[in-house]
Amino acid sequence: MNNKINYTNEKLTSFASVVNGKLPIRKVSKNETLKIGVDLGTSSIVVTVIDKDNNPIYGAYEYANTVQDGIVVNYLESVEILQRLKQKVERVLGRKLTTACGAIPPGTGESSARIVANVIEATGMDCFQVVDEPTAAGLFLEVEDGTVIDIGGGTTGLSIFKHGTLLKSIDEPTGGTHMTLVLAGNRKIPYVEAELLKKNKSRENEVFPIIRPVVEKMASIAKNAFDKDIVLPVYVVGGSTNFKEFENAFEKVLKVDVIKPKYPQYVTPLGIAMYDNAGE
Ligand X SMILES: Nc1ncnc2c1ncn2[C@@H]1O[C@H](COP(=O)(O)OP(=O)(O)OP(=O)(O)O)[C@@H](O)[C@H]1O
Region from 1-9, 35-43, 134-142, 228-236 binding ligand X, contact rule CB under 6 A:
35-43
176 binds, among Mg ion, ligand X, none (CB under 5 to 8 A by kind): ligand X
**Are 254 and 223 spatial neighbours (Cβ–Cβ below 8 Å)?**
yes
Is residue 269 part of the contact set for Mg ion (CB under 5 A)? Answer: no
Of the candidates 37, 134, 146, 152, which one interacts with Mg ion according to CB under 5 A?
Answer: 152
From residue 208 to residue 247, what is the string marking binding to ligand X with x (rule CB under 6 A)?
Answer: ------------------------------xxx-xx----
**Distance of alpha carbon 38 from its chain centroid, rounded?**
10
Residues 59-78 that bind ligand X (CB under 6 A): 67, 70
Of the candidates 8, 18, 42, 215, which one interacts with ligand X according to CB under 6 A?
Answer: 42
State the nearest-atom distance from the C-beta of 29 to ligand X, in Å.
31
44 binds, among ligand X, Mg ion, none (CB under 5 to 8 A by kind): ligand X
99 binds, among ligand X, Mg ion, none (CB under 5 to 8 A by kind): none
Residue 149 phi, psi (nearest 5): -120, 115
Is residue 153 part of the contact set for ligand X (CB under 6 A)? Answer: yes
78 binds, among ligand X, Mg ion, none (CB under 5 to 8 A by kind): none
Give dist(CA 260, CA 23) in Å, integer. 23
Nearer to ligand X, 6 or 200 (CB): 200
Q: Is the peptide bond before 233 cis (omega within 30 degrees of 0)?
A: yes
Is residue 154 part of the contact set for ligand X (CB under 6 A)? Answer: yes
Nearer to Mg ion, 102 or 152 (CB): 152
Nearer to Mg ion, 93 or 151 (CB): 151
Q: Are strands 258-259 and 130-132 parallel, antiparallel or unpaired?
A: unpaired
Three-state SS for 244?
A: coil
Nearer to ligand X, 28 or 170 (CB): 170
Helix (H), strand (E) counts: the chain: 9, 12
Taking Cα atoms as reference points, which of 137, 175, 136, 182 lies closest to residue 156? 175
- Residues near 147 by beta carbon (within 8 Å), at least 6 away in sequence: 158, 159, 160, 161, 222, 226, 230, 231, 232, 233, 234, 235
Give dist(CA 30, CA 43) in Å, integer. 33
Of the candidates 171, 177, 208, 234, which one interacts with ligand X according to CB under 6 A?
Answer: 177
Give dist(CA 247, CA 259) in Å, integer. 7
Beta pairing partners, 103: 131
Taking Cα atoms as reference points, which of 28, 46, 31 lies closest to residue 92? 28
Give dist(CA 101, CA 23) in Å, integer. 26
Is residue 41 part of the contact set for Mg ion (CB under 5 A)? Answer: yes
Q: Enumerate binding residues for ligand X (CB under 6 A).
A: 39, 41-44, 67, 70, 152-155, 175-177, 195, 198-199, 238-240, 242-243, 265
